[in-house]
Structure formats: structure tokens, C-alpha cells
Structure 1
């Protein structure tokens, strides 16, 4: 029987490979025929990605003369426009009025949802649930394809260890292992098993590469790091997306080894294409070709030639390819072969998406009417948002709240639709989101008496407000004085059993071009909280944020803190579900929270020094601070629950292993509390002695376990030498024999540990 099954599997693989070969041969024949008819200008035109005015513009430059350029065959792709009617009109120009009728590919920053908005990616990552993450991307793809799009500039997989960097909100945090799992889930959700259904679109992994390591946490800033750090910690999520079959890659703004990524041949050709085998198209970020001039790489012609030579296929918005490549070809600075290769990869993407077969396949008015912000999609957004929340503190089990009594609901984000979606929700309508006040009313009905008071502006700093209001009113000023608003909030607290303060960042205080040197809550909100603490009433903070904040005072003084990030369209309903116990929070943070900004950059998988600090107390001539402990406020992987989980001691199947043996590491997890709940059990491994210095520990696995009160379960992880591998000084990926420490626990700090010896 086994022999029959093996033969059947081999035959199935053979048939699959044969079908793929036949499909590739058919595509190649089609594109060869098309390219034989194309002029040089038309080939270069395919390399041009434009953004017209009037849509979702995500940069400082808008393309001019778009319609005329499409007629001339000078546009390969377009982004910033959504809606079946608008996109149909533009596609008509391409397929009816250009010489060769080549369709346009339409893209957009579909980052955490299209019309139905899910939690920001950093928030989404804290659910540690790949099925939910994939589901969010699949819903986003289905909505976007109904709305005319076939290309999403997502997922953003940049590892970030510095919360000052605004775009930490757009990624999955600081860990390469978890980030790689999320990258794969997002690609699978967007692209599915292929594009034949018309409900999947081409994903674009970004920003390649190392963008999250910008110096000083300042956006677009330079990046400099060793190759070992690059390969070990920053490259894996991009590689995971490529291995998952991502259709496109976007270059980053930063430099690598002194050469900007957009013009870096080692990065785009040697690594991406030759080492990793990537076959798809590479697109620049917004005007990043042009910006190489400011980096010091030459004029527009020089940097455009540099980018093409490096392996870039498509120029986003800058039009350097369109205006200079013909001249560079004549001068021998680029070759016809390079232009043809870039053009071919763009045409292949269009072919695989089915645009040559049907240029209008991603334009579906009926689907758009039924799917965009549908009740089903909103229900999914509500569920996924609740799973992303992280309970940071819950003294005296003040949460969950009772569905009775009186609640003082205060804070600038308590009844505020404009900030529920978070950054990079370019197609979302904030006015269709559910604010916290409405969510609590929806969940509790008339059972709870709610006294609402705004309490404070998001910020009283007019300069800050101006900077964050670029895309509309996010930080608005009340007509009353700060003193009047605080007085109203204190009076409300005096009449209530518990105070729920909804505070944090405005949505555009994080995201692109939103770096911050101060990670405290704005002073206006700090003053409100200090006044509320003086009332003596239990104080629950609901925290909106796109990054780890420095909230040591808040942690010391609030009764409970629930971090909800920016939850999306169903924000208020999801928050109320968790506050009142309809869902028991299980999120775990994926980016370390510092005690103050002076600790930044801070991350769990740091290396020891020759003088490591032992314990928390200050020691002279050790690696520490005079004024603050080394440890973070909340460590990576941290998150509480309404119930309590206890871990048994670690059990290892063997103490000594050899070669490719498998080690089983296990703990017994018990729900020792009173609520059913989920726990993310985390596996870390330490390699104490190696040929290059290693991190104090690295995440190597996790499982999300559901337990009823009183229930216990043995949670096991299988460990092989694959989990022991690392990059040595020759960039060889391998493992070395020796002692290893295995840790299993509830976060990166609180673990049960055991040692094994592993020989080759």
C-alpha cells in the first residue's frame, strides 16, 4: 500500500511540474511575440509606475500627463486610484487607445485591510495567530480585487528594534522568527494558490532591505550593519516571503554598504535573484530612484542607470527610467538586454494576473457592492481586533468590567472616529469606524450607565497637531481650556464606580515620516491621568499606539492597561468585547517596551558584553545605566490574561544528543484561574559558546493553547539541529556542537530552562 501511495504522489508531482512547464512555455511564447512588436520607448514605458492626482497619494510627488502617457504606451502601472468606474476608465485608455493595447497593472498600499480595516500590522502581529493573520490578508485581497486592484504594496516585513521609528507600526516587531511566519501568512493570504479566482492579488514584500534599522529611528535615514547581523536577524522575513512565492519586491530608501538599496546590485541581483532565486519584479519605493541623487550617487540619468544595472525593474513615480534610459542606452551606460529583462518581468506579472486574458477581471461592480465593508467582513475585523489586544496590567483583577453600575468614560480617543483606523489605512473611511463610546453601548445596552467626558485634547502642542493632521483632522482642539476639560472628567469620575481612560497617540503620530524622539504620552493626557489618579477610583487605561511607548508612570499608577494599538473599523466593538469579558485577551507584544527613550534601541535577543550586568541593581564597571535598570518595562512576548496560567518545570527527552536526533522539550501548562483563555507558549534557545558571539536567546517556536479553567495540557516542541543553526563569520549557515539551553515560557523573560549537550 505504501508503495502505491508513493507512486501516486510521484505521479502527482510529475503532473504538477509538467503543467507548470507547459504554462511557462505558453507565457513565454505570448510575451516573446508581444515584445517583438514593441518599440524601445514602449518597453521603457512598461517600467514606469505613476500616481495621478486626486486619489490616495502616499508621497510628496504626483505624476503629470498620465492619460497622455498611457496612450503613448509610456505607463506600465498605476496606483493611488480605487473604484471600478475610475479604474475601468483608465484601463480603457490603455487597452483601446494605446498602440499595442497592453493593460495597466493597478496597485495600492493595501496594508491592513482595504475598505474593511484590520489592526495595524504591529497590532496584528501580537495575536501570534497565523490563521487570523492570513485571513485578514485574504479578506483585504478580496475587497481590493473587487475594487479594481491587482497589486498590494504589502507585507512590510522590516525588523525594527527602535520604537522611535514611526514605521514600526507597519511591521511585525523585532523578532525574525515570528516576522518570517507572519510574512509567509500574509503572502499566502494575498496571493492564495494563484490568481485564477480573480479574488487574489499580487503581494509586494517591502522594504528590501534593512529599512527598520534606520539610525536614530529617523525615517529614510542611513543604515549600517555587519553582514552577520543582516543575515541572522534582518533578512529572514524577506527570504520567507520570497520562499512563499511573493510576486514582487519593493526596494528600500536606505543605503547598504554605502550604496542605496534601489541601486545596489549586490542586494537586488546577487542576493535576491542569484542566491534566493527570486523570479518576480522589483519596484522602487516612492521616488527612491531620484533620491539617490541626494545620497550622492549622481544626477537623474546616472542614478537611473545605476538602478537598472542593479536589477530594478520598475520606477515608482520618479520617471527617471522614462526620461533617461534611452539616452543611457545610446551612450552604452545600460544595455538592451537589461531593458528587455525588466520589461519582461513586468509583462510576466500581468500575464500571471490574467490581465492579458481579461484586462477588466479585477473590476467587479457587483462584488464591490456586496463585499466592501460587508457585515461578514466587519465581523471578522471585530474578532481579529480583539485577538490583537494585549493586557499589560490588571491589578486586583479590575478587568473584566461588570455589565452594571456606572462607568466614567474619558479621554480624547473615547469618542473619536478619526483615529480608530491607524496609519496606512488609505482606502478606509474613518467616519465608518466604531468609536469606543458606541462600542460600549453596543455591548452593554442599557445595563451600564456611561458618563462621557473628553478630558483633554490629544495634544495641546499646536506644532505637533499640525504635523499629524496632514491627512485630515487627527488631533483637534476643543474650544474649552485644558483646565475645564479636566474638571469635567474628574467630576465624571466622582460619580462612577470605575474610570476608563482612552488615551494614546493620534493615528498619524506613528507611521511613515512620523518618527518621535519622545515616546511619552502627550503632556495634555498625562495631566488628565494625574488628575484622575487623585480621585482614588479604579483607573483602566485603553491605550492607542502605533509603537511601544514609555509608560512607566502609567504602569505604576493605573489599575489596568489594555493596549489596543489601532484596531481598525470595528475598534469600539472589539474593545468593549474585551473590556467586558466577552473575549479574554491573549495578545503578546512583539516589540519591547522601554522604561524611557534612553534605553533605545532595546530588544530581547541582544548579545552579552564582556561585562554583563548580573541582576537589576547598578554595579560599577558593568554594562548598565546610573539612572535606570537595563531591563525593559515589558519584555518581548509579554501579555497577561484575565485568567492565570502556570508552567511546570521543563522536561527534556534527552540530556545528550548526537547528529540529526530530535529533542522533545515540554512543559505542562495549567489554567489555574477562573476564565477560559488562550496562552502563547514560547520556545527560546541559547547557544552559550560558539565561533561567533550569539544572542542571549532566540525565539524558535510558539504555540497558542486554549484551556478551560482547571484544565492542563502538555505542550511539546520538537527541536532538531535546524533550530541550532546560525551564520558564522564566513556567512555559512550551520550549527556547532556543544551545550544549549532550552527555555519555554510565557514571554522572553519568564521561562523554564534546561540544558542539553549536542554533538555532531
Structure 2
């Protein structure tokens, strides 16, 4: 197969994503749902295999031969010698390896598999390529803030190009878990709190990773994870139990997975959590009844890292053999890292405790996927020596990282139009632990970081300000500890400067897996630094570094300008400078709600209304906390530009919507300021009365607008009854007739609604 080679224009083209584009991101490369048909070649191969070889095809391990990155998981993955690995490949004891890169050694390993093993079955090479390989992009949560599925498609495509250049066939991404509790560290890996937006981005990233042809040399197999509801762990605690009704599971957590499969994903990963007491890796309801029988998915399921073995600690399985029986019967095809399938499948089948037919079906799924991506036709696909260096950090990919960084930032506040800053004529003090920092730039879940090529904020500022830059850089404090004399040095720098830029927040190791936080505020040493610097009285811009929504307080909350900068990847410094100095204007929107206090979590905009909402000034005996209102500090969808934008009245084309018809929703959006603006108009709906209480609002569309000063544009969305549907107690999805409210607004909490009635069927 000829690899798709994207042009510079492909990477740098203007991204104008509408709801329609989001539903079919990058339509030129769209791939329909992939069905893996019965295959005589695979059936013949299965019949020829020993039970030990079948167990090997259902086992995957960390790559101890090509490992070239940072350890991610606590269980040692890199313990085998090269010769031990080569012997195991020759013996057919593994289906593949993960988290190693390198073409030359990859070819060696593949040659052993296809020439020295008895079955000649090729290996599959996988990795956690979450937001880039050597060129890192914004963390997925940050990129979701672009509200731009087309951008997400292009960065996933670029990640696939670099990943396959280094010998990877399969990425354990995208993470499509909906996360409504910002205490959970893995919020950083997903698209935020909204299911509709999560669906659009899941589609875009799946198609981006896989490209137009999954057999192509630069196609990287997607693996939407974690199936399912991993983001709903109680208390925002990682790996924790999930206890939600199936209506909520289907309404909130399953749609991004279904969308990914419909977009062409043929693998998925089971989640660590249980749901109502049944761990996902052993959950037949999830993995067989819903995933395969109801949805028709016939790809493979891989366990998360030792999640099969962890069913013992859950108290769901008695021992290793019991794990294997329950996981395979539930529908988990590949065991990651536990060794339990290799150890126990042969004896379990021989004793009759495990059906050979169940094992064969799992092997069949694995081999079908390998054949679907072309490994039997060309075992050395994506192991091209010529591509290994040529396709890493290509100029257009680096430029895309910078573009993605710019479009991911969210301007929360800009009193007095403090931003953008002048490049000359004013002196700037860049204060905080991240001003000159390089170590945290790639962000969490970057397995193969390229630190030397990461651009620091100091680098970006100096480049933008030129040779005569009046810039002083002072650390002030470490991330979680004070520095002797740090505050004094920072205060001195602030006094000597005209403007202070305070760069504070979370380190990379404070977000991601196993990084749940009780308190999602900025660490105390940095808060003390902020108070001291703010007391100097100079204009202050706060740049937040973070992998989740944060609680803001004190001088940080009161700062006249606040910019969310997440973890932006390789081009962090250049991207931030582009926005801070006004070469580009911010256009990001919050994919997660910023609470007033950590204690509000879980907090999300599309919550249900209670019987005692705060509709009057009397706050007694209402749904409330004593200390704060029920509002977000900054709501979902919020984000400012460097201009001012007004929204006209939301209007509907008819007061009635027929059961098989459609209705137009419109509003006029005007740039009332003096600078060009990129605005993201958002469509929200609310079902006023239903058989199951409905959320206050739900996102149903986005439109990107470029507006010159004084210009107006009419935004139009089309709604059909399908857009008003919800999951009922019988698990069917359908709308109900009645009155609906609809808004076109710049966030989830603004605007005045129009209304219409949905007629009966």
C-alpha cells in the first residue's frame, strides 16, 4: 500500500469546524465502520495452532528491547533480557509488545516472528501515543478547548505519522472517557465533561490516527479507551468503583465509544473500574452483550495494564485461573502484562473449565485485526528505515504543534484589555516555576519526550520580543515547595518591571494516571508567591499550567488577566508568545467547568435540576453549599477574545417541530470591538418536562466565526427530533413530545432562550 503523505497545506490549513464538519471530521479521509469478515486463511491458521500458541496470541507485554522512554506503570515492564524476548517470540508466546520504538530492532523482532516461529504470525507493536510522539501536542483536554474537531483530526494524523515512522502499528488512544470530576487526574487525557463534544473529538481522533487506509504505512490503529465509565469513579479517585444506572452509562459514557467504532476503530481497551460491582475486564454485559451483540463490534478487546489480574484484588476472581475464565468468557481477548493467559489457558482448556471455542474466538479476533492492518501481507509495514528519521519533527508537524497550542488556550479574564502585551517599550518580569522550565512542557502521558526540542516560555518570549527584550525571569518558588529567597527575588523583579507575567499551576506529574487530588487549587508555595508579587501593584497576567480545571483563589483569582495554557507540548513557548503578544488572538473555550471551590466537585454544567433549585433570593432549604453558590467560577464553553462580541436574540423558524421534520435556530453575532475576533457560537437545548428529568442545558452544536471589527454574521443550526432524544428506562433512545428551550450563546450559562414544541408522533 502507498502511504498517504500529507502536505504542508494539510497541516497548516485554516480549521473552521462546524457541527456538521465535526460529525464527519476530515471527510476526504473518512472511513466507515469496519467489519472484519470471516476469513478462510485465518480459520486454517487457527486449526494449525497449539493451545500454547493460541495463548501467546492473546498476551501482550512491555517492550524491554526497544524501550526508549519514561516508565509509566508501577509493575516492572522492562525485566526480560533481549535474548529472553527473542526466544519468547520464536516460541509464539506473545502477540506483540508495547511502549518501545525503533525500526531496526523492530525488524529484527518481526523477522523472528515470521521466520522462526512455527506459526509465522507477525507481531503487532503498540504504544501509548496520547498526544504526540517526539513532537508533542497539547494534552487532549487542552486540545478539546479548541472546540475544533478538525484540528484534533490533524494532530492525530501527525502523531500517527511520527508513531508509524518509529515502528508503531497501534496506539492506546484516544481516551474518550467523559470526566465530570476535576479531582480525577486522567481528566487531562480526554475531551472534558460534555458527551456531545466528546463524540465529535472521538470521531476526529480515531479517523486521524487511522487515516484513509488502515493498511497504509502511516496508519496507526486507534484504541478508544477505557471501556467503560472509567471517568465516573467515585470521588474522582483513580481506579475507583463506578455505581451509576445503565441509563446514565448509555446517555453519558458510552456514546463516544460507539462513535469511535462507527468511525472505524476495531480495538478497544477495558477499564480498571468496576460498574455496580463487576470489573469491566470481566463484565460480559459490557464486552459481549452491549459491545458485540448490540453494537456489532467484532474487533478485539485488550485489558488495561494487569486489569485482568486485578479482578482478584477487586474480590471478583479467586485466583489466576479464575481470572482467565471470567475475562475470556466476558470478552477480553488480550491480556496485558499479567502473564495469566499464557500460564493458565492450556490447562484450563485441557481440564474443560474453559471452552476451546471461546479461546478460538478470541484468537480469531486478534488475527483478523492483524490481517486488517496488513501485517500478513507485509509484516514489515511501519518498519521503514528511510522514514524513521525523515518523518520525525517535520517542519509542518512542528508548525502544527504551535498552531494547536495557540488554539487550545482559553482567555478567562482580561480586565482593562491588559492583554495583549506590547513587545517593546515595556519591561516584563516573567515569574514562577514554569517560566524557564523545560521538564514539564510535554505534559503528562508523554512516553517518548523530546525535551531538548521543547520551547520554553522564556524562549518564546525572547524570540517574540527580539534582541532588545526587556525581560527578567525569576523562578520564585518550586511547584510544591518554597525556595530560599525566592519570593524576595520575585518581588524585586516585579518592582523593577512594568508588567508581571506569573506562570504558575501544576507540574506534569500532578495530572494523569494515579494523580487524583483532594484539593484542585494551586499549591500553597505558588499561592504565597502570587500574593507577594500581586502586592507590588504592577499589572499582572496569570498563565495557568494545568491538566484539569482548577480552583482559583486570592491574588490569582483577582488578577486582571488569566489565561489557561494547559500543557501545550513541544511548541509551548512559541504558542504562548503568539497569544500574549497579540500575533494571534485566543479562541479556546472551556471543555470543563472551573468550580469556585474544590468541594463543589463533581461539578459539570449539564447537571439535572433539583426540586429545590436556587430560583429566589431565599437560599434556605435549597440545593446549595453554605459557602458558595451553585455557579461555576468560569462555566463550560467560556472563553474570551481580544475583541468584544455580542449575541442577538435566539430565534426559531417555527413554534412547532414535526416528529419527522426539522427546525432552524438562528442568532446574529456581532463583533462590537476594534480587533478581529474568532468566536465559537454554541447551541444548547433543554427539554422542560420529560419522563426522566433532563439536564439544565445540553450542547448540540458549535460554529466557528471569523469576524472583522463591526461585522455581523447570522449563525444557523438545524435541529431534528433525533437531537432531542434521551435514554429511557427501557434503554431505548427517543425524544418525547413537549416544550423545548434553545439557546445560541457563548457559554453554557449565558443567553435568553427561545422555545418550540415537539409534536407527537
Quick one: distance in 2 between partners of 1:163 and 1:84?
A: 39
Cα distance in 2, alignment partners of residues 699 and 618 from structure 1: 30
* Residue 251 of structure 2, aligned match among 232, 255, 263: 232
Return 5+ residue gaps in structure 1 as ranges.
1-15, 462-479
Relative distance call for 1:556 and 1:257 in structure 2 (3 A) is closer
Between the aligned partners of 1:525 and 1:240, the Cα distance in structure 2 is 41
Partner-residue secondary structure (3-state), 2:222: strand
The 8 Å contact of residues 97 and 126 in structure 2, kept in 1 or not, is answered as yes
SS at match of 1:751: coil
Between 525-534 and 655-664, the greater mean CA deviation after superposition = 655-664
2:351 is the counterpart of 1:335: no
Residue of structure 2 in register with 1:598 after alignment = 599
Question: What is the Cα deviation at residue 73 of structure 1?
Answer: 0.5
Contact 1:393 1:555 in 2 (8 A): no
Matches within 5 A, 1:495-514: 495-514=496-515
**Counterpart of 1:360?**
380
Question: What are the residue-to-residue correspondences of 1:386-465 with 2, within 5 Å?
Answer: 386-404=406-424, 405-460=426-481
Tell me the SS of whatever aligns to 1:718: strand
Match of 1:318 in 2: 338
Contact kept in structure 1, 2:531 and 2:554, CA below 8 Å: no
Within-5 A mapping of 1:180-191: 180-191=199-210
Please state whether the residue corresponding to 1:115 is helix, strand or coil: coil
Contact 1:453–1:488, Cα closer than 8 Å, also in 2? yes
Q: In the alignment, which residue of structure 2 is the partner of 1:381?
A: 401
For the 8 Å contact 1:50–1:66, the answer to whether it is kept is: no
In structure 1, the partner of 2:40 is 29
Q: How does 1:50-199 map to 2 (within 5 A)?
A: 50-53=61-64, 54-56=67-69, 57-61=71-75, 62=77, 64=80, 65-199=84-218
**Aligned residues, how many?**
719
List alignment gaps of at least 5 residues for structure 2.
Answer: 1-29
> Aligned partners of 1:393 and 1:618: how far apart in 2?
30
Q: Is 2:133–2:448's contact at 8 Å kept on the other side of the alignment? A: yes
Q: Is the 8 A contact 2:161 2:218 kept in 1?
A: yes
Greater displacement, 46-55 / 587-596: 46-55
Shift of 1:487: 1.2
Aligned 8 A contact 1:42 1:73 in 2: yes
The separation in 2 between residues aligned to 1:423 and 1:555, in whole angstroms, is 24
2:155–2:208 contact (8 Å) kept in structure 1: yes
Residue 547 of structure 1: aligned partner: 548
**Structure 1 residues 78-111: Cα deviation after superposition (integer angstroms, max 9, x where no partner):** 1021011232222222123211221110000010
Q: Is this contact kept in 1: 2:663–2:718, CA < 8 A?
A: yes
Name the counterpart of 1:699.
Answer: 699
1:647 deviates by: 0.4
Paired with 1:662 and 1:267, the residues of 2 have a C-alpha distance of 34
| 8 Å CA contact 1:533, 1:557 repeated in 2 | no
Instruction: Report how far residue 757 of structure 1 moved.
Output: 1.3
Query: How far apart are residue 60 of structure 1 and its match?
Result: 2.1
Listed as ranges, the matches of 1:179-328 within 5 Å are 179-297=198-316, 298-328=318-348
1:350 partnered with 2:384: no
TM-score by length of 1: 0.93
Alignment check: 8 A CA contact 1:618 1:624 kept? no
Distance in 2, matches of 1:545 and 1:585, equals 17
Give the TM-score of the pair, scaled to structure 2: 0.93
Shift of 1:264: 0.4
- Give the corresponding residue for 1:494: 495
Cα distance in 2, alignment partners of residues 554 and 422 from structure 1: 26
Residue number in structure 2 paired with 1:369: 389
User: How far 1:662 sits from its partner (Å)?
Assistant: 1.1
Which of 36, 41, 53 is 2:52 aligned to?
41
Equivalent residue of 1:519, what SS? coil
Residue number in structure 1 paired with 2:15: none
Return the alpha-carbon distance in structure 1 between the equivalents of residues 586 and 618 of structure 2: 35
Contact 1:552 1:633 in 2 (8 A): no
Q: What is the rounded CA distance, in whole Å, between the counterparts of 1:439 and 1:747 in structure 2?
A: 31
Q: Distance between the aligned counterparts of 2:555 and 2:307, measured in 1?
A: 40
Distance in 1 (CA, whole Å) between partners of 2:491 and 2:505 is: 19
Relative to 1, partners in 2 of residues 1:164 and 1:739: Cα closer, same or farther, differing over 3 Å? same
Are the aligned partners of 1:651 and 1:665 in contact in 2 as well (CA < 8 Å)?
yes
TM-superposed CA distance for 1:33, in Å, is 2.5
| C-alpha RMSD of the superposition | 1.6
1:428 and 1:694 mapped to 2: Cα distance?
A: 43
Asked if 1 retains the 8 angstrom alpha-carbon contact of 2:124 and 2:170, the reply is yes
1:465 aligns with none
Please state how far the C-alpha of 1:333 moved relative to its aligned partner.
2.3
SS in 2 for 1:668: strand
Offset at residue 578 of structure 1 (A): 0.4
Of the structure 1 ranges 59-68 and 724-733, higher mean CA displacement relative to structure 2 is found in 59-68
Maintained 8 Å contact 1:385/1:568? yes
Task: Provide the residue aligned with 1:523 in structure 2.
Answer: 524
Q: Classify the secondary structure of the residue corresponding to 2:742.
A: strand
Cα deviation per residue 1:145-169 (whole Å; 9 max; x = unaligned)?
1110000000000001101000000
Q: Whole-Å Cα distance in 1 between the matches of residues 380 and 173 of structure 2? A: 22
- Single out whichever of 53-62 and 31-40 deviates more from structure 2: 53-62
> In structure 2, how many angstroms separate the alpha carbons of the residues matched to 1:194 and 1:679?
34
